[in-house]
Amino acid sequence: MTASVDNMQASNAADSEKAQPESNVQIQSKPSNKRKLLIILAAFMLNFSGCGLLFSFGLYQSLYEDMARKEDNPFTGASSAEISLIGSIAAALMKLGAPYVVAWCKYFSPQRVVFVGGIVYGVASVLASFGKELWHFQLTQGFLVGIGTCLSFMPSMAVPPAWFGKYRGLNMGIISAGTGIGGCICTALICASGSVLSWEPKMAANLHEDNLKHSWVSGSLKVPLPPRKIVCTRKFVAQSLNAIFQSAAYYTPIFYIAAYSKTLGYSDSDGSNFTALSNACNAIGKVGVGFVADKIGRLDSFFLTTLLSSMSTAGLWIPSTLLGATNETSGKGLFIGFTVLYGLFASANIGLFSPALVELFGLEDMPRMTGIMYFLQGAAGFVGTPVAGVLVKSAGSLSSENYLYMAVFVGTLMVASTVTVLWARVEVMLERIEGQKKWLWRL
């Protein structure tokens, strides 16, 4: 009788193994280099296309401000702050929806989420072409583009880090470089890229087990919050403050580069070229700093890029606003230097954000940390750029001094961001040397 039972159990076990779905077999297989390359390419293209409009919004800001001074158009009489609200809404929503988008990627798969994002992005772009009032553009280029961008951008930040170890900084830098290179809008490109974006096998297995505990309703609505033991740490507070300060400052120079250049005597075409220069430096900085980060430490690189960003703002942009009114040549030189350095290092800081989260909180909690940290960035961005726009002085003639308070505001936020990054770095260092008599120089 016992033998018979044993035989039945063995037979059932064998049948169970045969009944395992093919996806489970694939989950346990080691990802190939070809698959990793596809993940990099797909995430890069999502940044390229999904964030293209947002990182080119400086051109729209300059154009719409010119139109505001003319009669009979959707922007007649609009203030700089009201116009900048279009880009601010899009930038904020791109990250405010992060907790839910990460949850949907976890439950429904990144492919489906990105596909919906591509459709929303395309609809928003078409509707914007029919805009006749300022609020039409705030709704389409702001609200709807922000939602579409969030659905495509967040998967490209949350999914790839688990695929890479040693070269995580470089690969995330390449992926993030898409925001600097991309200037076009392409719904089909977003959907096609999303079709190959999937979770890393081990991460997929863990998420699959967790998903079994929820229905599709709870899986859609429940936000994956970070564990209490992490939230109560000083490094979490430090990194949260960094996310807020950095994001509140980051988009303002990008949105106002073209408009500010005109106060120094540059033409509309020159303003477009400065936006292109900033985006080019954006791409170069993310790849270059990502490569260096894998060599010298991702948290150290994260701190250095934040420090250099704050130095470029305080040391170049603020003096440019003061000197531009009396010494145009000096003002132009300082502004060009700021455009290059801010493009190289502030953008690289964005590319290092996800790798820094892995170093701070570990890979296992990455989806939970990604959602909450990007949410904080989105909330801060929604406030930061509109406030900066209000600080631009209204004057009958264009003057670089009109942007002084904006530059000081951005510089102050970047300095605060630098301090909090250093704080987070020190907290991690103290954790790792606890119980050891060894100083860790590279993190």
Give the pLDDT score at 210: 75
Per CATH, the number for 32-433 is 1.20.1250.20
Return the DSSP state at 394.
Answer: P
Give the pLDDT score at 10: 46
Give the pLDDT score at 293: 82
Cα–Cα distance for residue pair 343/386, rounded to 1 Å: 21
Helix (H, G, I), strand (E, B) or coil at 382: helix
Domain positions in the chain: 32-433
Helix (H, G, I), strand (E, B) or coil at 245: helix
Helix (H, G, I), strand (E, B) or coil at 75: coil
Cα–Cα distance for residue pair 254/56, rounded to 1 Å: 8
Token digits of residue 225: 């919050």
Q: In which residue ranges of the chain is pLDDT below 50?
A: 1-28, 182-183, 185-187, 437
Cα–Cα distance for residue pair 80/85, rounded to 1 Å: 9
pTM of this structure: 0.71
Cα angle 272, 186, 171; round to 5? 80
Give the pLDDT score at 396: 53
Q: What is the DSSP string of 16-64?
A: HHHHS-HHHHHHHSPPPHHHHHHHHHHHHHHHHHHTHHHHTHHHHHHHH
Please answer whether residues 411 and 318 qualify as being in contact, where contact means their C-beta atoms are separated by less than 8 angstroms: yes
Give the pLDDT score at 191: 57
Give the pLDDT score at 192: 65
Give the pLDDT score at 411: 94
* Residue 169: exposure state from Cβ atoms within 10 A (0-12, 13-18, ≥19): buried
